[in-house]
Homo-oligomer: A and B are copies of this chain.
Amino acid sequence: MILSALLTSVGINLGLCLLFFTLYSILRKQPGNLYVYAPRLVDKEKSRQQESGDFDLERLLPSAGWVKNAWQLSYDEILSISGLDGLVFTRIFTFSLRVFTIAGVIGIFILLPVNYFGNQLSDDFGHLANKSLDSFSISNVNDGSNRLWVHFSAAYIFTGVVCYLLYNEHNYMSAKRIACFYSSKPQPHQFTILVRSIPSSSGRNISETVESFFTEYHPSTYLSHSVVRRTSQIQDLINDADKLYRKLGRMKSNNHSQQTFRRDGFLGLTGRKVSLSDHYEKKLEDLEVNVRMEQNLSDGEEVPAAFVSFKSRFGAAVALHIQQGVNPTEWVTEQAPEPRDVHWAFFSSSFIKRWIFKLVVPVASFALIVLFLIPVVIVQGLANLNQLEVWFPFLKGILSLTVVSQVITGYLPSLILQLFLFFVPPIMLTFSAIQGYISHSRIERSACSKMLWFIIWNVFFANVLSGSALYQVNVFLEPKNIPRVLAEAVPGQASFFISYVVTSGWTKLSSELFRLIPLVCSFCKRLFSGKDGNEFEVPSLPYYNDIPTILFFGLLGITYFFLAPLILPFLLVYFCLGYIIFRNQLLNVYAPKYETTGKFWPIVHNSTVFSLILMHIIAFGIFGLKKLPLASSLIIPLPVLTLIFNAYCQNRFLPLFKAYPTECLVKKDREDQNEPGMAEFYDKVVSAYQDPALMPVQYPRSTDRDTSPLLHSTEV
């Protein structure tokens, strides 16, 4: 790729971004789009009054007020709006901006000139605009040249800077986590643990076993427990009832005057004519009765698991951290998630099913990640028109048209690839869900890691090591060849990744802002069914999908920093845009459904360390290829030092992301002792962990149809 082509691409994408921004700034002011662009605010019913006003001209003028609002948002506000997870998410941008500002200064002002004035590639004829992008990369530095020591020093300095910033950030995040804990009100999940694999004892049911065990061994701190029950059948019934209720609601509102009839006999063909809505209402009543019957019956379906609550946080921690029973596979304890975060379906699947999935899912994920390349390669085979003509001779006439052939070779493969990629995050989420985690937040975290590996393998390695998929796996079976193979392949893909940042990165951000799919959906809904206010739900930010993408751009920046510093300005633009856009989205669009309390941060840390090590491996290979063996050997301490740094960070910070220390727990418990509302709170804790499927079900009758349904609520 030559420089002018890159600049054209940048120009087009910049234009597109500006267009999206302008459209956004207009569309967001239309009251009809409120549910698309500010659902969080609508939910809080703050802005409803403000913006319900009449039409005025200002609504059609683009404005940059939202940028200012997003910019001014402080970290404390983010914390109060989106919790620690939102803070982690915005801090990824802050951290990346810091890293790549420093990297950019070093890269553009020191490395780029060194690369440019080398003449290994010797294409110094022609104008600057016709220069290949490769002449800005390390490939252009002469073999064995002492100028490579500049790159060598840059690698050391950059690693130092990243580690320093990473340490600071980790420190900041863990301090915030503790501060949040200190400032939090008493919450049921702080006082509760989940106990699984409760042994069955003869003559006693599970509830009695739990009661006697904890009153015996934790007499002074034990408060209460609630045994979990298998509720998949009830949940199915409730889902049916919900569907029926919605159908009924729609039917009533649409055809308020005209009555529809059907016969109540076999297949609706025989028997007495009844009003269709009466028929459904009867069915709904039957379902309700069924649900209630099942709820009362299902005592026998107790699962050997219970949420056990204690009178103090420290009491819960004691039971959590120390092995309870003599058999370590019984009385297994783990932290209870927030009540709204519990993944109740987990308890309904049988032990053997969970066990098999636990073994199978990692294998399946690994297979999906590694073998995803195969369909991609096949699809890219479409670009090979001759092959296609051999397979489908009747297409010959069509394929000879220039337009068709261009579409097929140019756009179709990448379109199909994007389509494939579109389905991967939900697949990963499903994988994580059946893998057997008890909370939604844990599932998301697991899906996040899976997605990260997926992207790194299928975008980075697949592009770098082009060739057959099998050959690539082979490379990783011969570890000693890895640095050489990477060093040969990675610099060559610099121009591809620069344009990847510009096209994929920038576009993703502006489409995030523009929310095209929700916009279209909302438009269609309004077109066909009038208002859509009732069934409106505030979305939560899909961290498992967005964090890996951002981290991948970080990886690109770190690995290409000393190979092709030209990528850095484009990355900086990406991170600046992301910084503003996601702050805006957190402010207006997303509201968290549950909290991981900052547990995404270790993923960010690990990914950054991985990127650094990858850079070092490539550097080791590059200096070997460039015939500077001394630099190649002197780079070896760098990954070792980085790993030691990582081990230190794991020791220093990771425990704080797993559990709270005695000091915090005891202090917080002491504060509570003087609180007057604790007795009331204990009552709340006792009933907090109720499976929503076991809540009383009551659909409002026809007379009070307009109020929102009295559905089972999981809030406490």
Contacts and interface: CB of A to CB of B under 8 A. Distances in A.
Interface of A: 178, 216-217, 317-319, 321-329, 359, 477-480, 644, 651-656, 659, 661-666
Given A318-B322, A478-B478, A662 B328 contact: no
A318 B318 CA distance: 6
A328 B651 CA distance: 7
B477 A477 contact: no
A655 B655 CA distance: 19
A537 B295 CA distance: 73
A323 B666 contact: no
Contacts of A661: 322-326, 328
Contacts of A644: 359
Given A477-B478, A477-B479, A322 B327 contact: no
B329 A652 contact: yes
Contact of A652 (B318, B324, B327): B327
A329 B651 contact: yes
Contacts of A329: 651-652
Contact of A178 (B321, B326, B480, B663): B326
A328 B359 contact: no
A325 B178 CA distance: 12
A659 B323 CA distance: 8
Q: Which of A318, A322, A329 has the most CB of B within 10 A?
A: A322
B477 A480 contact: yes
A408 B329 CA distance: 59
A683 B644 CA distance: 43
Given A318-B318, A477-B478, A477-B480, A326 B664 contact: yes
A85 to B, nearest CB: 21
Nearest to A216: B666
Contacts of A656: 326, 328
A652 B328 CA distance: 6
Q: Which of A329, A359, A651, A663 has the most CB of B within 10 A?
A: A663
Nearest to A332: B651
A309 to B, nearest CB: 17
A644 B355 CA distance: 11
A651 B329 CA distance: 7
16 contacts: A178-B326, A216-B666, A217-B663, A217-B666, A318-B318, A318-B322, A322-B659, A322-B661, A324-B661, A324-B662, A326-B661, A326-B663, A328-B653, A328-B661, A329-B652, A478-B478
Contacts of A323: 655, 659, 661-662
A367 B394 CA distance: 67
A653 B328 CA distance: 7
Nearest to A320: B322
A480 B663 CA distance: 51
Contacts of A663: 217, 324-326
Contacts of A324: 661-663
A470 to B, nearest CB: 13
A597 to B, nearest CB: 16
A310 to B, nearest CB: 13
A286 to B, nearest CB: 46
A328 B217 contact: no
A217 B323 CA distance: 21
Q: Which of A324, A655, A662, A665 has the most CB of B within 10 A?
A: A662
A662 B217 contact: yes
A217 B318 CA distance: 13
A478 to B, nearest CB: 6
Given A321-B322, A328-B656, A329-B652, 5 more contacts: A217-B666, A321-B321, A324-B663, A325-B661, A325-B662
A212 to B, nearest CB: 12
A664 B654 CA distance: 30
A643 to B, nearest CB: 11
A661 B322 CA distance: 7
A318 B217 CA distance: 13
A666 to B, nearest CB: 5
Q: Which of A317, A654, A659, A661 has the most CB of B within 10 A?
A: A661
Nearest to A213: B663
A435 to B, nearest CB: 16
A220 to B, nearest CB: 9
Nearest to A359: B644
Contacts of A478: 477-478
Nearest to A661: B323
Contacts of A662: 217, 319, 322-325
A424 to B, nearest CB: 27
Shortest 9 CB-CB contacts between residues of A and residues of B: A328-B655, A323-B661, A321-B321, A324-B662, A321-B322, A217-B666, A322-B662, A217-B662, A318-B318
A135 B319 CA distance: 61
Contacts of A654: 328
A647 to B, nearest CB: 10
A191 to B, nearest CB: 16
Contacts of A665: 322
Nearest to A658: B323
A360 to B, nearest CB: 12
Nearest to A660: B323
A571 B73 CA distance: 75
Nearest to A648: B329
A52 to B, nearest CB: 48
Given A217-B666, A479-B477, A317 B322 contact: yes
Contacts of A653: 328
A663 B651 CA distance: 30
A207 B194 CA distance: 38
Contacts of A479: 477
Q: Which of A328, A651, A666 has the most CB of B within 10 A?
A: A328
